[in-house]
Amino acid sequence: MLLIECPFCGARDESEFSYGGEAGISRPTDPDSLSDAQWADYLFMRKNPKGDHEELWQHTQGCRRWFVVVRNTVSYQITSVRKVTEVVRD
Amino acid sequence: MQKYRLAEGGLVDRSQALTFQFHGNTYQGYVGDSLASALLANGVSIVGRSFKYHRPRGIVGAGAEEPNAIVQLGVGAESIPNAKATQIELFEGLTAKATRGWPSPGFDLGAINDLLSPVFGAGFYYKTFMFPKNFWEHYEHFIRRAAGFGLAPTENDPHRYAHHNAHCDILVVGGGPSGLMSALVSGATGARVLLVDDQWQFGGSLLSQSQIIDGKPGTEWVSSVVQKLQQMENVTCLSRATAFGFYDHNFVTVLEQSAPGSKKPADIRQRLWRVRAQRVILAQGAFERPLVFSNNDRPGVMLASAVSTYVNRYGVCPGNRGLVFCNNDSAYETAFELKAAGADVVAIIDSRKNIAESLSQKAVDAGIPLHPGSVVTNVMGKRQVKKAVVSKWDGKNVSATPHVLECNLIAVSGGFSPAVHLHSQSGGKNKWDEVNECFVPGDNPQGAVSVGSGNGTWLLRDCLNEALDVAVQVAGGLGFSDTAESVPDVADGMGPSVEPLWRVPTLDLPEKAPKQFVDFQTDVSVSDIRLAAREGFHNVEHVKRYTALGFGTDQGKLSNINGMAILAETLGKTIPEVGTTTFRPAYTPVSFGACAGENTGELYDPVRKTAIHSWHEQATSQFEVVGQWLRPWYFPKSGETLDQSVARECMAVRNSVGIMDASTLGKIDVFGPDAATFLERMYTHDIGKMKPNKCAYGILLGEDGMVMDDGVMARLEENHYYLTTTTGGAAAVYSWLEFWLQTEWPELEVYLTSVTDHYSTIAVAGPNSRKVVQAAGCDIDIEKTAFPFMSVRKATVADVPVDLFRVSFSGELAYEINVDSRYALHIWRHLVQVGGEYDITPYGTETMHVLRAEKGFPIIGQDTDGSITPVDLGMNWLLSNSKDFVGKRSLSREDSCRDDRKQFVGLVPVDGTSVVREGAQLITNTQVGPPTPMRLGSILIIIFAFFAINTVVFAE
């Protein structure tokens, strides 16, 4: 059971949050110009690192804001928590 | 007659006798007893039968490590299966029986298995799957019954269980000397401290040993510390509370038992604490290891530390002719205590050749014969130890000239294993301590610190010093300092000076010799481990599963390290090379009641009721659960079946007017200058074309192009939209919109508000619906031209302001009234009253399904399963060509364009009356004609199905 520091509300129990998968994926601006393979890369392919992972969480049972967490997938330690607007995307 | 009770000593109150029953026999014990100590006091030597061989078994330990004394506590609904007698606090009227042994543990017909033991070797259970094949079904019944544990009660538990969330700066697990010292120092710094201990009395090992602290008995020091702690407002002390799980980020679960005895059902029986700590100090202590020799499971073979506990804490001497067998110093104390308690100690059998002179001199002084360099090779006495067979031992071999010593108690000590369970659960590694022959905690990724014997620190003074240092350091790290506490004065003690003895060799091969048990609870012997190794199981996790080593309710607290050492010997590896199995929660068993807490019965899942629910109940509606909502299913008149009721409700809508509570639809208010832009990107149709006061049907796709949800949306004003979703999809759609708005387009100024509960929706449907709405006092013109299909207007109905929608989910002329939920019941009643003239008929979800099916409307989430594109559904007309939207690109993926994708079709039975039940399989058959068009106004059941054909057939 993780303890997650919501950037808006403070530290809360994991049970208040929903997981949103890998962070930092930008939606292509012109999807029609992409090949099926390129679109599939955006749609399906996700990093699966052993180590630090940038991921989205939503404080579902609280302020309902999405934010970006860096969590180590081995130790589960959370090393940073940022608002979405503070993250530079690809 | 408590014939083994000592005349004095111990922490039991001899002035308060308690009467209890074990297997139908009535006994007496005292306040302060455990069930185990009371049984021993009464001379009950056999407390159960073993798992596979049904050998008589006695009490071995005194706490969580007990493998044999597993009882069914109490009877009926309150009964607790598989409780350990060593952990049960005795109370007046307690009843218990052994979980194995039929008709009784003393006389057990299952003992035949012992004679058949060659059949039941390692992997026996798995082999029954194979030899011969197909015979498993014949074995299964007998094997499962023979190997059973306790029985779960069949009635509902009348007791209450609760959950409790707690936060603290420092959690101290274990209330022995190290834990008490840590808690005292931490508490004195002002930190919020939670101290938990699994026993009903704090003190841990000090309750069991005759230690002197500050010149007084150790138990007096315990009392003074507990008193100090209880006076600190920042400290909470929980006894009878076992920390059983250590999860991420210092989240620890603790099971607290209420004090025993008869309870009102309203009292809370167990409370599960969910503790979030800043830091955790683990002071769990250590478990003594048994020694492995032939017939080491005979009743009367006990851990030396347990013997000390029974003598010192409970005032019970478990035997009057004791023999101590050890490979370390600590068991000598047990010998002296037995002697002091009046028992005859026939010998100390020590596998070590060289024994500290001070120690051997003490034995001589006590008049106890000491046999260095000796081992017990066998035990006589099937139902109670009668004799020990002792041989010389040179560290490798036993001599062939044994001698026999008569005794009725063998206290064994094979060294100590720190209880590294919680440390390991939290992700900490363990390292092998070559000197003390045990695994000790290594680094801990969550910053948990182990102290005392749980950290492999053995001498009391060292434990207390370590506990103080760690507490100062941990509290200091959290910003708490200043403590005046110091370590009390403790006499020098003896170190364990352990020499490894993992298995007493036999003159025969272990396979031929009498059984040498490693795991008492699961009946795993040395020969089983060796057999597993011979059959190719070399990984310790595999050996565990093949032999069941460490599988029982004690989770191998006594057996694991011995088993690993014997595996290592068999494989020619070192113990750290073999390693440990994984430590998982729960440390000790946790009841389902505690896991469920208050979340049972009505409180299991929240129930959502609409604002009109009370009317539905009075109208004797049948309800169905949709999501968490209770929705009217159908409204039977007296004597009507479901089909009859639905037929009547459908005809009413088709021929006159019906009324339905559609309040459970999800409702989302979307507001802001960029609302249209945002919705344009989310929905598939052209939002911009929709003018204020107009409605449209819309669908939402996942980015994979699959239909996710649908609903009617209305543009109330230029920058103000009102979306409806399916009942079940409301929360998901709301989150979905938030996700895109916040993570992808945070620059858009749009405000989303979930208003599902704030507004109620009443559908009035049927050819007479307009007349009913007019009769209800609607203040606007709702004729066809003034208020066309798919429009929305502000209006007043029954003197209440509403949003009136001209939409239909039934194919009939229909209005949906959206109203502040506080007025919903009022409007509903009014509509029913004025609709009486037209025989207005309330209808439920079943009728709604028939009506929508006849009309050809799908229900997303019921007719679709997340693998359906809008094209599969025949909804190409909803897909805009002039804009991008979420999921659009996926519709042109190769897979989405396959021409053999399943298509959504409506089917009408040829006879027009047959009902195909939900889940029925339709088989391609020439007898089945093509779906025929249906006529409105008649009752026809349409079923929807997906077929791998290209034709989309909707009834019209």
Q: Which helix (H) or strand (E) holds B142?
A: helix B136-146
Cβ–Cβ below 8 Å for A1 and B889: no
Contacts of A78 in chain B (CB under 8 A): 249
- Provide mean pLDDT across the span B448-454: 97
Tell me which H or E stretch contains B167: strand B160-173
Strands B321-326 and B409-413: parallel
- Average pLDDT value for residue range B562-576: 95
Mean local confidence (pLDDT), B102-112: 72
Interface contact B735-A2, CB threshold 8 A = no
Q: How far is B894 from chain A (nearest CA, A)?
A: 8
Which residue from B497, B419, B490, B491 is spatially nearest to B454, judged by alpha carbons? B419
**How close B443 comes to chain A (CA, Å)?**
13
Asked if B251 lies within 8 A of A3 by C-beta distance, the reply is yes
ipTM: 0.97
CA gyration radius, chain B = 37
> How many Å from the N-terminal Cα to the C-terminal Cα in chain A?
30
Q: Which residues of B touch A43 (CB under 8 A)?
A: 703-704, 890
CB of B618 less than 8 A from some CB of A: no
Enumerate the residues of chain A whose CB falls inside 8 A of the CB of residue B743: 20, 23, 56, 66, 84
Kindly tell me if the per-residue pLDDT of B110 is higher than 90: no
User: DSSP state, B892?
Assistant: G
Do B824 and B663 contact (CB within 8 A), yes or no? yes
Three-state secondary-structure class, residue B430: strand
CB of A34 less than 8 A from some CB of B: yes
The neighbouring-strand residues paired with B714 are B695, B722
At residue B32, what are phi and psi to the nearest 5 degrees? 105, -15
Distance from B225 to chain A by nearest Cα, in Å? Answer: 33
Which of B742, B888, B890 to mutate to probe the A interface, most A CBs <10 Å?
B742
Q: Is the pLDDT of residue B954 over 70?
A: no
% residues pLDDT > 70 (chain B): 91
Examine residue B132 and say whether the peptide bond preceding it is cis (omega within 30 degrees of 0).
Answer: yes
Token match 């808006």: residue?
Answer: A8
Single pTM value for the model: 0.90
**Across residues B502-508, what is the average pLDDT?**
86
From the CA of A26, how many Å to the nearest CA of chain B?
7
Over its C-alpha atoms, chain A yields an Rg (Å, rounded) of: 15
Q: Is A84 on the interface with B (CB under 8 A)?
A: yes
- Which residues of B are less than 8 Å from A21 in CB distance? none
Decide if pLDDT at B952 tops 60: no
- Residue B940 has a pLDDT of 36
Of A1, A28, A65, the CB nearest to B248: A1
Residue among B743, B744, B892, B894 with most chain A CBs within 10 A, to mutate? B743
Give pLDDT tens digits for B210-236: 889 999 999 999 999 999 999 999 999
Across the interface, of B746, B884, B893, the residue whose CB is closest to A39 is B893
CA distance B585 to chain A (A): 13
DSSP A25: P
Asked if B889's CB is within 8 angstroms of A39's CB, the reply is yes
Is the Cβ pair A27, B744 closer than 8 Å? yes
Interface of B with A in 694-713 (CB under 8 A): 703-704
Confidence of residue B722 (pLDDT cuts 50, 70, 90): very high
Please state, in angstroms and rounded to a whole number, the distance separating the CA atoms of residues B155 and B77. 5
The pLDDT mean for chain B works out to 90
Question: What pLDDT is stored for residue B953 in this prediction?
Answer: 33
Residue B201 pLDDT level (bands cut at 50, 70, 90): very high
Question: pLDDT tens digits, residue range B119-130?
Answer: 667 776 666 666
The DSSP result for B830-887, as a single string, is: HHHHHGGGGT-EE--HHHHHHHHHHHT---TTTT--S---TTTTT-GGG--SSS--TT
Q: Residue window 746-805, chain B: list those with CB within 8 Å of chain A.
A: 746
Q: Is the dihedral of CA B654, B659, B663, B668 positive or negative?
A: positive
pLDDT value at B608 more than 80: yes
Q: How confident is the model at residue B944 (pLDDT cuts 50, 70, 90)?
A: low
Q: Is B770 helix (H, G, I), strand (E, B) or coil?
A: helix
% pLDDT > 90, chain B: 78
Phi, psi values for residue B583, rounded to 5°: -90, 120
For residue B767, whether the previous peptide bond is cis, meaning omega lies within 30 degrees of 0, is: no
Question: Which of A43, A63, A65, A87 would best serve as a mutation to test chain B binding (most B beta carbons within 10 A)?
Answer: A43
Q: Write the pLDDT tens digit of every residue in B462-494.
A: 999 999 999 999 999 999 987 788 999 998 777
Is the Cβ of B248 closer than 8 Å to some Cβ of chain A? yes
Kindly report the CA angle at B605 between B603 and B611, in degrees rounded to 5? 95
Q: Which residue of A lies nearest to B247 if distances are taken between CA atoms?
A: A1
Neighbours of B835 (CB within 10 A): 25
Q: Are B563 and B524 in contact (CB under 8 A)?
A: yes
Please say if the pLDDT value at position B938 is more than 50: no
- Interface residue A72 vs chain B (CB under 8 A): no
Of the two residues B644 and B955, the one the predictor is more confident about is B644
Amino acid B239: pLDDT:
96
Could you identify the residue written with the tokens 């858009």?
Answer: B748
Give residue B853's pLDDT.
84
Closest CA to B735 of B675, B663, B664, B668: B668
φ, ψ for residue B270, nearest 5 deg: -140, 145
Bridge partners, residue B625, by sequence: B630
Distance (Å) from the alpha carbon of A43 to chain B's nearest alpha carbon:
7
Cross-strand pairs, B222: none
pLDDT-wise least confident of B115-129, B309-323, B523-537, B655-669: B115-129
Residues comprising chain B, all counted? 956
Paired strand residues for B277? B168
All residues of chain A having their beta carbon less than 8 Å from the beta carbon of residue B248 are 1-3, 14, 76
Give residue B923's pLDDT.
59
* Cβ-Cβ contacts under 8 Å, A3 against chain B: 248-251, 276
Indicate the residue of A2, A31, A34 with minimum beta-carbon distance to B248. A2
**Does B926 have pLDDT greater than 70?**
no
Q: Check if A40 contacts B (Cβ < 8 Å).
A: yes
Q: Tell me the pLDDT tens digit for each residue of B72-90.
A: 999 999 899 999 999 999 9
**How far apart, in whole angstroms, are the C-alpha atoms of residue B28 and residue B38?**
7
A76 to chain B: which residues are within 8 Å by CB? 248-249
Which H or E run includes A56? strand A52-58
Residue B909: per-residue pLDDT: 72
CB contact set of B219 (below 8 Å; sequence gap of 6+): B11, B203, B206, B207
- State whether B251 and A18 contact (CB < 8 Å): no
* Closest alpha carbon to B73 in B152, B144, B16: B152
Give me the half-sphere count of Cα atoms (radius 13 Å) on the Cβ side of residue B423: 27
* Spatial contact of B212 and B218, defined as CB atoms under 8 Å apart: yes
Report the pLDDT value the prediction gives residue B859, as an integer from 0 to 100: 87
DSSP structure string for B686-751: -STTPPTTEEEEEEEE-TTS-EEEEEEEEEEETTEEEEEE-TTTHHHHHHHHHHIIIII-TTS--E
Asked if B730 and B751 count as a contact pair (C-beta separation under 8 A), the reply is no
Q: What is the pLDDT of residues A6-34, one digit of tens each?
A: 999 999 999 999 999 999 999 999 999 99
Partner-chain contact A66 B743, CB within 8 Å: yes
Tell me the mean pLDDT in the region B824-852. 96
Whether the CB-CB separation of A7 and A52 falls below 8 Å is answered with no
pLDDT of B637 reads 95
Counting one residue from chain A and one from chain B, the pairs whose CB atoms sit within 8 A come to 59
pLDDT tens digit string along B408-433? 999 999 999 999 999 999 999 999 99
Flag if A39 and B703 touch (Cβ within 8 Å): no
Put simply, the answer to whether B739 touches A20 (Cβ < 8 Å) is: yes
Pairing of strands B160-173, B95-98: unpaired
Q: Is A33 on the interface with B (CB under 8 A)?
A: no
Which residues of chain B neighbour A60 with C-beta distances below 8 Å? 735
User: Residue B901: pLDDT band by 50, 70, 90 thresholds?
Assistant: confident
User: In the prediction, which pLDDT does B505 show?
Assistant: 87
